[in-house]
Amino acid sequence: IELESDLRKAVKRNELELYYQPQIQTGSYSMIGVEALVRWRHPNKGLLSPGVFIPIAEETGLIYDIGTWTLQEACRQMKEWHRAGGPLIPVSVNLSSRQFHQSNLVEYIREILEQTGLEPHYLELEITESMMMDAAVSTEILRELHEFGVKISLDDFGTGYSSLSYLKQFPIHKLKIDRSFISDITKNASDQAIVATIISMARHLNMEVIAEGIETKGQLDFLMENSCQEIQGYYFSRPLPAEEVEAAFFAPY
Ligand code: G
Ligand code: G
Ligand code: MN
Ligand code: NA
């Protein structure tokens, strides 16, 4: 309850921050994108992770304001980096279920892109399988976003309730293999089979695929041997404050 009333003030008081986790191409080790992850710098509890406050934000409806702030800030920051001569890479933003089902979502994303000047193909929206499964709404939303040029990734892929037939009906750009399949991948034959199959399926469906939660060289090796070209995880980088991502972009070499 206390956290809830604090959260009501957090946006106005400028207490939210975005961290960015680099996404890496396995062959070249270059950065091919960043995922924006919101943090809350609470006045006396310190830096809180979204796992703590996003569920509260969803329950109370505060997610609309927080989600708007997050999208605006991610697009603004990415455009600023592009203007400053940084790499022309996209930013991924997580959408929560209520945001995704908000009636004016497409219009409102269009406005944010116009305001910030970020080209639509540099914005990637991460949704989960269960969000996509509410077919009545999502078919139309996903089509419109796709036509507009915004990309859609399926987050936590493999853990939700989806039917594979959805993958051919919807304009999904990328599958993000959930980190629960990665943690034991050097030892667990089932995880190996599942991950190799997802990679191969994505390729045959002309989708991109990225593996999340890579923490070790062994996990990276498995993924490279199985032709997974994009990865994200602590092995390369934790989510970083904007200044540190910027330092990596513009580091002298
Ligand atoms: O950073 P951390 O591992 O604590 O993130 C926990 C969860 O919070 C992840 O599932 C992530 O998708 C979600 N999350 C992070 N940033 C955002 C955001 O801006 N909006 C929404 N809806 N979820 C987010
Ligand atoms: O659900 P989603 O994929 O959006 O969750 C992203 C979260 O996963 C980020 O907030 C990030 O902190 C966390 N994360 C990213 N890389 C790793 C990793 O290598 N290991 C673990 N345990 N968590 C990670
Ligand atoms: Mn995500
Ligand atoms: Na995930």
Which single residue is written with the structure tokens 């032709």? 227
Confidence at residue 139, expressed as pLDDT on a 0 to 100 scale? 84
- Render pLDDT for 97-154 as a digit per residue (tens, 0 to 9): 999 988 889 999 999 999 999 999 999 999 998 888 876 678 889 999 999 999 999 9
| Predicted model pTM | 0.96
pLDDT, averaged across the chain:
94
The closest-lying atom of ligand 2 relative to the alpha carbon of residue 232 is: 16
Which single residue is written with the structure tokens 């992770």? 49
Q: Are 200 and 220 in contact (CB under 8 A)?
A: no
Q: And the tokens for 193?
A: 């089979």
Q: How far is the CA of 19 from the centre of ligand 2 (A)?
A: 12
Q: And the tokens for 165?
A: 């037939």
Burial label, 217 (beta-carbon count in 10 A; 0-12, 13-18, 19+): exposed
Confidence at residue 132, expressed as pLDDT on a 0 to 100 scale? 85
Confidence at residue 238, expressed as pLDDT on a 0 to 100 scale? 97
Q: How far is the CA of 146 from the centre of ligand 1 (A)?
A: 23
Confidence at residue 165, expressed as pLDDT on a 0 to 100 scale? 84
The DSSP string of 174-210 is: EEEE-GGGTTTTTT-HHHHHHHHHHHHHHHHTT-EEE
- Alpha-carbon span 111 to 32, nearest angstrom: 25
Q: Whose CA is nearest to atom 16 of ligand 2?
A: 233
Among the bound ligands, the one closest to the CA of 92: 3
CATH 1.10.3720.10, domain 2-247, yes or no: no
Q: How far is the CA of 210 from the centre of ligand 4 (A)?
A: 10
Sequence length of the chain is 253
64 Cβ contact partners less than 8 Å away, ≥ 6 residues apart: 98, 99, 102
- Domain boundaries of the chain, sorted by first residue: 2-247
Of the pLDDT bands very low, low, confident and very high (cuts 50, 70, 90), residue 90 is very high
The residue that leads in pLDDT, 25 or 140, is 25
- Render pLDDT for 149-195 as a digit per residue (tens, 0 to 9): 999 999 999 998 777 888 888 899 999 999 999 999 999 999 999 99
**Cα torsion through 91, 97, 98, 103, rounded to 10:** 80
The closest-lying atom of ligand 1 relative to the alpha carbon of residue 57 is: 22
Q: And the tokens for 142?
A: 């996903």
Among 239, 167, 250, which Cα is nearest to 205's?
167
For the four alpha carbons of 242, 238, 99 and 202, in that order, the dihedral sign comes to positive
Which single residue is written with the structure tokens 């989960």? 128
Confidence at residue 163, expressed as pLDDT on a 0 to 100 scale? 79
* E strand intervals along 11-113: 16-25, 31-42, 46-48, 91-94
Burial label, 13 (beta-carbon count in 10 A; 0-12, 13-18, 19+): exposed
